[in-house]
Amino acid sequence: AYSAMCHINPDFEICRPYIRKIAEYALSHPLPAGTIWNANFPAEAEGGACKIRLARQGRQLWRESPHKRPVPDTNQHYYWMGGVLTDCQEGENSDVHYLRQGFATLAPIHIDDLTHHEELQKRQEHFSQLFPDPGAGHA
């Protein structure tokens, strides 16, 4: 995965010098199953180039910020699920820390199971009551 830290009109030219080299590294140094490489690039690079660091995945939290918007030429509305990035303090070995200093980063991300199992189990009964299967309980 390749990402740029600029969320509005990102300049992916910053990534160009690194894409092939990162891909070659990833292919010649495979990760275990359930793990991917995540490359992030700063919004700007001094002199058009940046140094790159191997890093751990940092935390940047998005707070949901829904907006009610009108559907053009109708009396209807829809909701746009926007988000606001909240600041998190990160250690010196995180991609967030390096990106803030203008470095590109490469982080091995383990994605095998993102489920929060305790929350799933805790909420299952109440959720099932709110959303019963169609026809359930009808003879």
Q: Show me where the domains of the chain are located.
A: 2-130
**Residue pointed to by tokens 């509005």:** 8
- Out of 26-35, 41-50, 111-120, 124-133, which region has the weakest mean confidence (pLDDT)? 41-50
pLDDT at 32 over 80: yes
User: Helix, strand, or coil here: 22?
Assistant: helix
Q: What is the structure's pLDDT at 125? A: 93
Residue 107's pLDDT band (boundaries 50, 70, 90)? Answer: very high
- Out of 72-76, 87-91, 101-105, which region has the weakest mean confidence (pLDDT)? 87-91
Taking the whole predicted model, whether its pTM rises above 0.75 is answered as no
User: Helix, strand, or coil here: 62?
Assistant: strand
pLDDT at 4 over 60: yes
Q: How many residues does the chain have?
A: 139
The CATH-assigned architecture of domain 2-130 is 3-Layer(aba) Sandwich (3.40)
Average pLDDT (101-119) is: 86
Average pLDDT (32-61) is: 83
Task: Compute the distance between CA of residue 116 and CA of residue 71 in angstroms, rounded to an integer.
Answer: 36
